[in-house]
Structure 1
């Protein structure tokens, strides 16, 4: 487990719209662009093996959201044609202070971690979570979107894994993903996710009435 003192001042960042990583969650990635292959190569040589996932600002050339989440490379495998399949395990969110110039082909940023101390804990609780009501809402959403899932696995997942996995996996707008990332606590993330599911269902109902 990482301690605050273990977190670096600079971080290679991987801008990827719609890709959300959260603390204590896992994100599989397919690395094939030369600059990100170089980033991975340097990352694997480092002591902490951290990569910062951050979302680009919509409709802005090279601008990034200022909050992302760092993940440690915990699994990787190379394909015969030189691509990599890796897994990032979420460690902590960070705030970008400025982008650093350098000779590397990928982007690197000066970051701070001080607002995200809770990310380094073992897990986070949500005492106000009404799980049966949430699963009922989720079932309606999946039915409306014609999605399928392993409901037994969802029912067995703990509250943090359930909320964070859905936040990462559901197809949502970049700004919605960013709002879920920036939520101060798990309870806030759950409330935002619930609102997004309810809004989607209401929007669908409105569209049906208009047809």
Structure 2
């Protein structure tokens, strides 16, 4: 079922999506990803999406699974940029490129099979919030990040893990693993394991830039 009345139904998803490749970017179902769009080809992509179904596929380069996002907010800036927010919906597997000589941006056939349940809230999480908060405090301190810890207690578990997975500066391969996790519980378990590994190794990861 859709996240809200404006979202498409699963059966109405298109066979072809405009593809925005972003290194280190993670968009998850029901997550929100703010983007600053300034390249001419991607400005054209956003303009075309706004005229149609508002859907854009986000995928990391060199990977075959991504997530479609719907433009839920946008602003036209005086310097010619778009500032948009994508809400993640269903994951997809990348198919063959759809060649359109008149377009400057990439469009690809996508495969939605196996991802119909991505937008269904299942409530399968059993989160040890005190342990998670302790891990996050250590991880955020190591990365020089800050967080509203009181707000964390007010967010539902699944939404919390989606938001944390998207904002934490994990390596691209680890973000992809979170995207490809089979369910919300598997994703939450993996996220905690990744935090533990990062703290044990003391490694520093780079923040995403686009």
Fold match (TM-score > 0.5): yes
Q: Gaps spanning 5+ residues in structure 1: where?
A: 58-64, 206-211
The CA deviation at 1:132 is 2.2
1:23 is aligned, of 29, 32, 42, to 29
Aligned residues: 196
Work out the CA distance in 2 between the residues paired with 1:77 and 1:128.
38
Q: Does 1:170 align with 2:168?
A: yes
Work out the CA distance in 1 between the residues paired with 2:48 and 2:145.
39
Q: Which has the larger radius of gyration?
A: 1
Q: Deviations over 1:128-158 (max 9, x none)?
A: 3222222222222223333211101111111
1:3 is aligned, of 1, 9, 12, to 9
Q: Which residue of 2 aligns with 1:146?
A: 144
Q: Gaps spanning 5+ residues in structure 2: where?
A: 3-7, 204-210
Q: Which residue of 2 aligns with 1:118?
A: 117
Question: In angstroms, what is the RMSD of aligned CA positions?
Answer: 1.4
Judge conservation of contact 2:36–2:83 (CA < 8 Å) in 1. yes
Divergent runs of 4+, >3 A: none
Work out the CA distance in 2 between the residues paired with 1:36 and 1:194.
34
Judge conservation of contact 1:14–1:51 (CA < 8 Å) in 2. yes
Q: Deviations over 1:84-128 (max 9, x none)?
A: 10010111111112112112110111011111111132x242333
Work out the CA distance in 2 between the residues paired with 1:66 and 1:143.
33
Work out the CA distance in 2 between the residues paired with 1:42 and 1:170.
31
Q: Normalising to structure 2: TM-score of the pair?
A: 0.89
The CA deviation at 1:187 is 0.8
The CA deviation at 1:185 is 0.5
Structure 2 SS opposite 1:102: coil
Structure 1 SS opposite 2:189: helix
Q: Normalising to structure 1: TM-score of the pair?
A: 0.88
